[in-house]
A = this chain, B = another copy of it.
């Protein structure tokens, strides 16, 4: 009997921990070999072996405090080169033909922003060639080549996930599997909420909100890319063969759960500019200056004006507050505000669920649960499928558990 199943392309991405040493590398090879033998056209995207990138960064730091971006990218891309060649060798040992390609060879064309390049286009001729000849094709994650100068670039944080999803889109893959050290997306961080439940399925929008609000398992850029191209992303563990969480287009979800999960993020600070004169355009002036400094801010709250002045609060990455100080002081001086306060002891707790847009009262129920627990809310922001609150960092874990319980998200 001949096999009638159509042969689709599967893209599998393994991060630095998954290929962290020779033993793990062999176990990844074993998994890839099974995928190949099951009849799939298999493309593997790998990161540098865990620790390699840090070692290279350390060496560079010993030579130059501010190394040029072009050379930093040349340096760092050595990392994936090593891991992908070793993985190809491990596959050969299992009798599976494989060939590795750099980002440039795989046709990952980017802009010229070294260290945080964006993918402009993928021309995967050589990937197709390799697949057509029956090989497993291994592609270096995190890297590409600039369209204009043909220099080697890196995609920045989470770049290997981006490579994997972008490549899956360019190849028309059936699925992009992201292998990680947890077995999927949970209703909350299981270290904080012991009865947190693994989600079998969720929409891109939910994954995007959860990820943007602090869930670490996925990268925002890769989820966005999966959504834009309709490529299902399967988040799963590299340590087991159990299925993980499928992130799929909204239309593939038969019935929305009201709530998918609770995310939290302690990496942001709350900044308040005090007593800003309430004249037209003053907020625009503040946030333009912040944008010019290339700082992304998140939640913004402006109170109703009293006596012609108002406080404007917003959250932003704690690590960038120091660098923004001059911009804020200039603004205070220019408009005659009173001053700036910074509170780094805050946490953001977010409730995400595609179903909440048709279920009024979700926000109210969340605020009530926190209030019943004696947890004070200092900022609120909402989207159609998310409610976020800022609380004191000391209350963060209790807030996550409280909200998780209030919406019955746990097991059983």
Contact B100 A63 (CB under 8 A): no
Which residues 24-83 of A sit at the B interface, judged by CB distance below 8 A? 25-26, 56, 59-60, 62-64, 67-68, 70-72, 74-75, 77-79, 81-82
A85 CB contacts on chain B under 8 angstroms: 60, 71-72, 74-75, 78
Minimum CB–CB distance from A126 to chain B (whole Å) comes to 8
Q: A242 CA to B388 CA in the complex, in Å?
A: 70
Which residues 90-134 of A sit at the B interface, judged by CB distance below 8 A? 90, 92-93, 98-100, 105, 126
Contact B64 A89 (CB under 8 A): yes
Minimum CB–CB distance from A28 to chain B (whole Å) comes to 11
Asked if A88 lies at the interface with its beta carbon under 8 angstroms from chain B, I say yes
Asked if A282 lies at the interface with its beta carbon under 8 angstroms from chain B, I say no
Look across to chain B and name the residue whose beta carbon is closest to the beta carbon of A80. B78
Q: A84 CA to B62 CA in the complex, in Å?
A: 15
Asked if A216 lies at the interface with its beta carbon under 8 angstroms from chain B, I say no
Q: Which of B56, B88, B90 contacts A74 (CB 8 A)?
A: B88
Contact B92 A68 (CB under 8 A): yes
Asked if A86 lies at the interface with its beta carbon under 8 angstroms from chain B, I say yes
Minimum CB–CB distance from A57 to chain B (whole Å) comes to 11
Q: Which of B22, B25, B68, B81 contacts A88 (CB 8 A)?
A: B68
Asked if A357 lies at the interface with its beta carbon under 8 angstroms from chain B, I say no
Which residues 126-163 of A sit at the B interface, judged by CB distance below 8 A? 126, 150
Contact B89 A63 (CB under 8 A): yes
Contact A105 B67 (CB under 8 A): no
Question: Contacts A22-B59, A22-B62, A63-B25: A82 and B89 contacting too (C-beta < 8 A)?
Answer: no
A89 CB contacts on chain B under 8 angstroms: 60, 63-64, 67-68, 71-72, 75
Look across to chain B and name the residue whose beta carbon is closest to the beta carbon of A68. B92
Question: Contacts A22-B59, A63-B26: A86 and B75 contacting too (C-beta < 8 A)?
Answer: yes
Contact A71 B100 (CB under 8 A): yes
A88 CB contacts on chain B under 8 angstroms: 68, 70-71, 74
Minimum CB–CB distance from A17 to chain B (whole Å) comes to 17
A86 CB contacts on chain B under 8 angstroms: 59-60, 63, 71, 75
Q: A65 CA to B84 CA in the complex, in Å?
A: 17
Minimum CB–CB distance from A78 to chain B (whole Å) comes to 4
Q: A293 CA to B410 CA in the complex, in Å?
A: 70
Minimum CB–CB distance from A329 to chain B (whole Å) comes to 32
Write 19 A-B pairs (CB below 8 A) sorted by A numbering: A56-B82, A60-B85, A60-B86, A63-B93, A64-B90, A64-B92, A64-B93, A67-B92, A68-B89, A70-B88, A71-B85, A71-B92, A71-B100, A72-B89, A74-B81, A74-B100, A78-B78, A78-B82, A81-B81
Q: Which residues of A contact B (CB under 8 A)?
A: 22, 25-26, 56, 59-60, 62-64, 67-68, 70-72, 74-75, 77-79, 81-82, 84-86, 88-90, 92-93, 98-100, 105, 126, 150
Extra contacts besides A63-B86, A63-B93, A71-B85 (17): CB < 8 Å? A22-B62, A26-B63, A59-B82, A64-B92, A71-B89, A71-B98, A71-B100, A72-B85, A72-B89, A74-B84, A74-B88, A74-B100, A75-B81, A78-B78, A78-B82, A81-B81, A105-B150
**A-B pairs with lowest CB-CB distance, top 10:** A75-B85, A74-B85, A78-B78, A71-B88, A67-B89, A64-B89, A78-B81, A71-B85, A22-B62, A63-B89
